[in-house]
Structure formats: C-alpha cells, structure tokens
Amino acid sequence: MKVCVIGTGYVGLVSGACLAEIGNDVICVDAEAAKIALLERGEIPIFEPGLDELVNMNSLSGRMRFTTSLWEGVQASDVVFITVGTPPLPNGEADLSAVEEVARGIGQSLNGYKVIINKSTVPVGSGDWVALLVNEGMLQSRLGRVGGGGLADPDHAYDVVSNPEFLREGSAIHDTFFPDRIVIGSQSERAIRIMRELYAPLIERRVPGRLPSESHEVPFIVTDLTSAEMIKYAANAFLATKISFVNEIANVCERVGADVTQVALGIGLDRRIGNQFLNAGLGWGGSCFPKDVAALMHITKDYGYDPELLTAVQNVNQRQRALVVQKLQRHLKVLKGKTIAILGLAFKPNTDDLRDAPALAVARILLKLGARVKAFDPIAGKGAARLLPELCVCESPFEAARGADALLIATEWDEFSALDLVALRAEMSPHSGAMSRLQENPVLLDGRNLLNPSEVRAAGFTYQGMGR
C-alpha cells in the first residue's frame, strides 16, 4: 500500500518506519526542511532503540522517503496519517493548530479517494472537525485558489479514521509490531477494510524477520470516531492513575513501616490489577501522560463535569517531586551551598525525552534553594544542558558524584543498577553529613527503588528509598 505520514516526530517516524518494514511504500512529510535534510542523510533526530537502523534500512531499500511537500505526499498515497504534535496550551487544552493546517492541506491536495487517519492525540470530537477542515481545503482547491484543480467526485473523496497510538518510548518498535490491540474509529466499511488490509501483518503477527510474542491474533477493535478518541485518553489517564495510586500507597508505607515494593508485588499478582505501572518513585512525566490527563480534564470541564479523581492524580504526581526535596532536607538540613548529584535526567530510560521530566523539576527546585546540582544521563545530558543551563552536566556517574553531599537516582537506567557503589561513594564529599550528627554517611536517595538497600548501605551510604 502507498502510505503518507505527515509529521516526523516520535509517533510519525516510528510508524512510518514500521509500516515500510512490513512492505508498504512510505513517504514521510514534515514542514521543517532541516529535519527532512537530516533524515535524508540517515541521521535520526530522536533517540529510540533500533529506530536508526530501521529507518536507514528502509530508506536504502526505497520503501521509505522524505519530503517537505504535503501535496506530493498526499498525491502519491492511498492512506494518509496525521501524526503532528498536539502540545498542551497553558490552560491544559491541546494545541490543534498543526492538525488544522495539515487537514486543510490534505483537502487541497486530494486527487482521488483517501483514508485520512488521525493518529495525533486529539480531543474527543476532533474526527468530525478534521473532516470539516478537509472539506474547506477541497473547496479552496475547487475554486482554484490553491492545489491542483479539484476532484470529479468530491463527496466521496475520503474517509476520516481515528487510529490512536499506544507506543511506549523506549520500546516503540516492539509495541508497533506486536501491539496489544489496534483501535479503528470509523463507520465506513470501505475505510475499515483498507485499515484491516494495512495492518494485516500486525493483526496476524507475521512481521518478517521478527518472532511474535504471542501466537493469537491481535484484537482489531472497530468503533465510532468519538469512542476511539476517548480510548486513547482513558488509557493514558488510567495508567497515570496507577502510578499516582502506588505513590500514594508508598507515602503511607513510609509512615507505617511497610515496603511498597513488596506491597506492589502482592497486589500486582492479582490479575484484576496487574503488575505494570506499580513502581513507586518520582512520578510520571514525558510527552503523553501530563498532556493527555490535562486535556481530558479540560474536555470534561467543557461538558460541565468536575474530574475529581484526575485532579487528585495530578496533585499526587506533582507532590512526589517536592517530597524528594523534603527527603534531602531531612538528611542535609539546609540545602543552600550543598552539592546534589542526580543520576538520570530523561523522564524514563531508553529515551532522550525531557518533556516534563521529574528529574528536571527536582533540579529546578534544588537550584532555587541554593544548591549546586550536578547530573549525568547516558543519552539526555546535552538536551538537559540546553533546557537548564545552570545544571552542571557530567560525562559519567562518577564525575557527577565527585564532591557531592547527596546522590539522587531519578531515572532507572539499567546501567545505574550495576554501578560500583564503593567507587561511587569514594568520589563524594568527605564532609557529607557533617552538618547532621545523626548521619555519618552520605545519603543515596533511590528515587526509583532501583537498588538493593543492603548493598547501598554496605558501600557506605545512608539509603533512602520511596515508600521503603
């Protein structure tokens, strides 16, 4: 099938590369000429394990190419994906300006029947709005103001489909090839048939060169546009709720003397609950959960409903970042003049995404309190330095720890679980803890409960976890 993907951000680039890998001809469109030039040189603007190899391999094979021309992409394709960003506005509402521009541009470029697939995360009801914008673009084209002159049968030129993505940064390629489900929002039998054909290799788990994680077919859920859009928001809101819930339990565990890691294990084995997203820590961040929870709250308020649970989910998440600073204050007392080392800056491991990263939020609080903050991240260090110039970004965990009074693990990178803790302790300030008679060893604040407390203490640290 001939596929156009408009937007070469995280979702667009991953989706385009994976669709090319299963045998489609994919043309990726982006308005940023510099980004397209980068991709044509084989350079990937984001970090996602395996993505550079997948993009370059399919580019060399001719199944994947890049252009700044939306008109060219739409004209050459059977199906058109909208994957542009919908960042949050200050009031929490999704910014749909890029979707609006693209939808009109698609209408101006139509040269035959297309399935227009909205994969950007958009507010409930946006499918009909996108169709309206496509119609406006078609009208402009027919009137001769733009585009190529109009269609013979404009009333049957396209169908709009909602096809939300459920990709996890760091494992997006696996999630694309082996999804839990594929959701299609449409009432057009023609569009549904085309979408089933497009996704057939994924539904039947017959991706070339890759072993299926499960043998059964992937659920192919067909619903109306509005329900498909709501599924995306509801899924992310529920996962965010699980994280905030376990963090709330962790805070109770600390007070009663329980260990949240054991509590999470015990409740996660209940199949009704499940063990994923039950890791206590600094809370959630990234590009999806904060934006989608805020957008869903904005939608509910537009319809006269007060989302009390979602408000609490947000509040708990913000409080976790302040709690980390309070833990450091309990150990070091006054933070002004102290040096704090942070290991991990990206909002999660295996990505360079710093959007709403808890580590950066904590760093900003510490800097405001007068502390010196040093940090290391295997991938996201340079990006963090651009976002927060006051941050001292280091080349290794040991450089970050050198002279520090306390150490915070903020992102659970695998390499941090294998650190030489004795050597790390040796780099830290010999005066650590001198201001507190109750503490002789520097504190290691395990913000992700990544390490074994006994091993940390044996290396000469005072261990402090989250809910432990």
* Interval 369-391: pLDDT, tens: 999 999 999 999 999 999 999 99
User: Looking at domain 2-223, does it have CATH number 3.40.1160.10?
Assistant: no
> Where exactly does CATH 3.40.50.720 map onto the chain?
2-223, 239-464
| pLDDT over 90 (residue 140) | no
Tokens 């260990």 sit at which residue?
Answer: 259
Structure tokens of 249? Answer: 């339990």
- Going by C-alpha positions, the residue among 80, 126, 84 that lies closest to residue 107 is 80
Position 97 confidence tier, pLDDT thresholds 50, 70, 90: very high
| pLDDT over 60 (residue 15) | yes
Position 126 confidence tier, pLDDT thresholds 50, 70, 90: confident
**pLDDT value at residue 213:** 65
Position 209 confidence tier, pLDDT thresholds 50, 70, 90: confident
**What are the angstrom distances between the C-alpha of 248 and each of 229, 365, 384, 439, 467?**
29, 21, 28, 27, 9
**What is the tens place of the pLDDT at every residue in 21-31?**
999 999 999 99
| pLDDT over 90 (residue 188) | yes
What average pLDDT does the structure give for the chain?
Answer: 92
Fold of 239-464: Rossmann fold (3.40.50)
Does the reported pTM lie above 0.95? no
CA atoms 125, 126, 127, 133: torsion sign:
positive
- Going by C-alpha positions, the residue among 295, 192, 157 that lies closest to residue 234 is 295
Catalytic residue among 28, 253, 288, 394: 288
| pLDDT over 60 (residue 435) | no
**What are the angstrom distances between the C-alpha of 196 and each of 34, 190, 192, 204, 350?**
35, 10, 6, 11, 31
Q: Is 18 a catalytic residue?
A: no
**What are the angstrom distances between the C-alpha of 75 and each of 69, 117, 421?**
10, 15, 58
Position 90 confidence tier, pLDDT thresholds 50, 70, 90: confident
| pLDDT over 90 (residue 247) | yes
Position 146 confidence tier, pLDDT thresholds 50, 70, 90: low
What is the average per-residue pLDDT within 15-37? 96
| pLDDT over 80 (residue 142) | no
Structure tokens of 143? Answer: 């009137």
| pLDDT over 80 (residue 468) | yes
Tokens 């520097």 sit at which residue?
Answer: 442
| pLDDT over 60 (residue 438) | no
Residue 152 is given by DSSP the state S
Determine the residue type at 195.
M
Q: What is the C-alpha to C-alpha distance for residues 248 and 126, in angstroms, rounded to an integer?
A: 34
What is the average per-residue pLDDT within 114-134? 89
Position 123 confidence tier, pLDDT thresholds 50, 70, 90: confident
- Going by C-alpha positions, the residue among 201, 180, 214 that lies closest to residue 18 is 201
